[in-house]
Amino acid sequence: MLLGAVFKRLIRTGSLTVIDHRGERRHFGEPPGPQTVTIRVTSLSAEWRIALNPKLAVGECYMNGELVFEQGGVYDFLTLVVRNLGVHGNIPFSAVQRGWERAMRLWHQFNPEAAASKNVQHHYDLDGRLYDLFLDTDKQYSCAYFPTPDTTLEQAQLAKKRHIAAKLNLKPGMRVLEIGCGWGGLALYLAETCGVEVVGITLSHEQHALASRRAQERGLSDRVKFEIVDYRRMLGRKFDRIVSVGMFEHVGVPHYRAYFEGINNLLTDDGVALVHSIGRSEGPGATPGFIRKYIFPGGYTPALSEVLPVIEQSQLWVTDMEILRLHYAETLKHWRMRFLAQWDKAKALYDERFCRMWEFYLAASEITFRHWGHMVFQVQLAKKVETLPITRDYMHDAELDLVNREKPQRFAKTG
């Protein structure tokens, strides 16, 4: 079988047993042992699809019950495969699919306003109770910041907000724009802890409704406003600070210039922006078929080589950059374990197929950050070279000050 030929060339380290649609067993790699991953493929069609288009078909077949794990699970199988591939490895016999992905990448990343709204709603307008099952109590749906290995998810997400606030060098009374405000947690933190006014924008009706309710319940509606609007529709307004966390992945390479020129136009002369985004270390690529089809249509993880040249053309200064390497892997691990523990509740909201889809998404994402070259970058931007202090000491001092000023976390009920 073709799938057997793929695994014969691929699996050198570790141990994989494959049961094909006829019930025949084949073993690949090292001798079978307690760490062996055993999979069963239930149809000849599934075998061919996995062999020819694994980036789509592995997750799809698992969703549909055509790929069954007899020993080990999704995470174990994907870890085994990725460790054999290496950071820049290519799956055997998939050259045609890789060529097609490269040819179509700009089309997949084309994200005009109508498509952007539809793509965001596909993921973020799911039943809000789903996100309550695995996110922290503040519903932060982006990479957390883990100062120590034993930091909890709640602590790490608070540390992330503090880390970002420190880099913004905020002063009371400043006007802040958050592009892609999620469920409002960062905007509320900045207003409550730093004394600033915040406008948060989103294309998700579910996020907008909850964020607005949280602002009202915490008595911050006079300083925090949430709007459903595309960032390209913010013309004519000015902000002292702009922050964007986990939204840039939805912009699309053809729109990078408009995005950074928009930031430049929206900032005051002494303005500062911070963009927090997933990045890829291996250079420009394409979004895997499963993620593009089922999870984040229109989404793309950029390489810095695609981002920095556009920033240079937008006449913004790159005043600071930080690479967060394994922080998202740890974040996703927390999310995955929490989701698995709440499987029955997720199944009650949707169904078993949805749960398998979501498990595959979380597992594949964690492995991509842990073993396959993905990371998070935070790039700080300014319109003037002299706007910010010339050493990073102010960031450290600000984080210490924020710890002292943070109020007890009072999160609105989200269930």
Tokens of 178: 């958050």
Q: Which amino acid is at 281?
A: S
- The CB-side HSE value for 297 (13 A sphere, CA atoms) comes to 14
* The two three-digit tokens of residue 133, written as one number: 């099952």
Instruction: Report CA 117 to chain centroid distance, whole Å.
Output: 17
The series of mean pLDDT values per 10 residues for the chain, 415 residues long, is 87 94 94 89 95 93 97 96 74 53 55 59 74 96 96 97 98 97 97 97 94 97 96 93 96 93 96 98 89 88 96 95 97 98 97 96 96 96 96 96 79 42
d(CA 45, CA 7): 17
| pTM of the model as a whole | 0.90
Q: Mapping DSSP to helix (H, G, I), strand (E, B) and coil, where does residue 184 land?
A: coil
- Whole-number pLDDT of residue 299: 87
What is residue 35's predicted lDDT score, i.e. its pLDDT? 83
> Which residues, at least 6 apart from 355, have a Cβ–Cβ distance to it below 8 Å?
343, 346, 347
Instruction: Find the helix or strand (DSSP H, E) in which 317 lies.
Output: strand 317-324
User: What pLDDT, on the 0 to 100 scale, is given for residue 409?
Assistant: 52
At residue 253's C-alpha, the angle toward residues 277 and 206, to 5°, is 55
Rounded distance, CA 73 to CA 76, Å? Answer: 5
**What phi and psi, each to the nearest 5 degrees, are found at residue 261?**
-65, -35
For residue 408, the model assigns a pLDDT of 63
